[in-house]
Structure formats: structure tokens, C-alpha cells
Amino acid sequence: MEVEMKIRGLMMDPVTNMPIVILKDSGSDTVLPIWVGIYEANAIALEIEKVTTPRPMTHDLIKNVLVGLDANVHKVVVTELREDTFYAVIWLERQGQVISVDSRPSDALALALRVDCPIYVEDEVLKNSKQAANNVSDRVTTEELRKWLEGLNDEDLGRYKM
């Protein structure tokens, strides 16, 4: 089953200093942190802040290609968590044909923001992410990070809040 989520914010991991996209289920307190690369975080931040660039960035190009091909993105889904790596699928439709495209979650999220489509996470991914957090060798640090993420407020998310 898929759980619809929204991008709650974008922030830096205080432990690894890597960007994290925070997804949140609007119907509950469930959050899913997804660590992303700096360039992908920048692409997400540019769209969150509605910054226009002089030339199309990669995700803008993808959107323009899809529009040019008369294809509609219906949704993006974070489908799997395997060996600490998240996987996603972009679902689109062109001329009545439904097409699924394998994607990194960061790219799928950056595109979802640009085309304003829903973001989903498989409930199995949410369960596995909690189990993975419990199996990490430095369990205390992971549990503290999870509690910290769940306790975030608008001020904590700074200028990238949604």
C-alpha cells in the first residue's frame, strides 16, 4: 500500500553534514528522512524557493521533454529500501500508455515538485526504514537522530520549509 507524503523540508544532517529531504505523511506523524547528494538537494531547494535559472537545469529539462512529448507524470513512488539505498519509480502516461521509469528518489522528488504530482512511499519502505534504523551499529546516535527529526518544527527547517 502506498502512503501519500509531502516534502516537509530540506536540511543538513548534523552528523554527516549531508542534505536530507524530509518526507511527512500529512495524516500522521510519520516522517521519512532520505539522504541525498548536494546537487540533487540544490535542485530540490531551487524549486522549493521558486528560483528561476537563466538556463534549464537537468530536472527542468526533463520536465520540458515530457511536456514536449505530451506525457503526464501521475505520481512518484519511493518503492524500496535495500541495503541502505532507496529506490523510486516515476509513473507517467503518454497517449494512453502508462510507463514506469526507474529513478533515484532525489531525482523523482525534484521532478515531482516541478510537475506538481503526488509523492508516495510504499508502507513497506516506512517499516523497513524504522527497522534499518534499529539495526545500525551506532544505535543510540540513530535513535537520537530519529527523535530529533520527528521533533522538528518550522524554525528548525529554516528557509526550506514547505
Q: What is the pTM of this model?
A: 0.81
Query: What does pLDDT average to over the chain?
Result: 87
> Which of 18, 16, 23 has its CA nearest to residue 112?
23
In what side-by-side order are the strands of the sheet with 85-94?
31-35, 19-25, 2-12, 119-122, 71-82, 85-94, 97-103
**Overall average pLDDT of the 103-132 stretch:** 93
Domains of the chain: 2-160 (3.10.690.10)
Whether residue 136 is predicted with pLDDT greater than 80 in this model: the reply is no
* Per-residue pLDDT at 162: 45
Model confidence at 152, pLDDT cuts 50, 70, 90, reads: low
